[in-house]
Amino acid sequence: MAQFAVFIYEAEIPGGWENAPKELLAAHEAFPGKVEELGGKILNGLALQPAGTAKNVRKGEVNDGPFAEARESLGGAFVLEAESLEQALEIAKFVPVHDGGVEIRPLFDAPEA
């Protein structure tokens, strides 16, 4: 099966995740089951701290903030295993996101030795 990186971009929740709507939290809890139901598999994932905690390095200089300034920032990512890009996109429609969206990118296959 093919592997895809799924990047979650969203606006930060005012007051942090402890103030997240109950529906959003419930959707996060239900999502792994939905992925399995649709024939995919989450291989691993990352939840990131708020964008305000980020540092970036450009030309050897360390700066405060994320690499790109935007209303929506990278909030997390996971690796999804699916039969095809079409299946990965169908699964991506169910990713719980607070005021944002997701980006899907196929991962390179490791060359055979």
- pLDDT band of residue 51 (cuts 50, 70, 90) is confident
The whole-number pLDDT of residue 66 equals 85
Predicted TM-score (pTM) of the model is 0.88
pLDDT digits (tens, 9 = 90+) for 68-94: 778 888 999 999 999 999 999 999 999
pLDDT digits (tens, 9 = 90+) for 5-35: 999 999 988 888 889 999 999 999 999 999 9
- pLDDT band of residue 46 (cuts 50, 70, 90) is very high
3-state secondary structure the chain: CEEEEEEEEECCCCCCHHHCCHHHHHHHHHHHHHHHHCCCEEEEEEECCCHHHCEEEECCEEEECCCCCCCCEEEEEEEEEECCHHHHHHHHCCCCCCCEEEEEEECCCCCCC
The whole-number pLDDT of residue 93 equals 97
Name the residue type at position 95. Answer: V
The whole-number pLDDT of residue 13 equals 87
Question: Domains (ranges, CATH) in the chain?
Answer: 2-106 (3.30.70.1060)
Region 46-61 average pLDDT: 92
In the numeric block, which tokens belong to residue 8? 């979650």
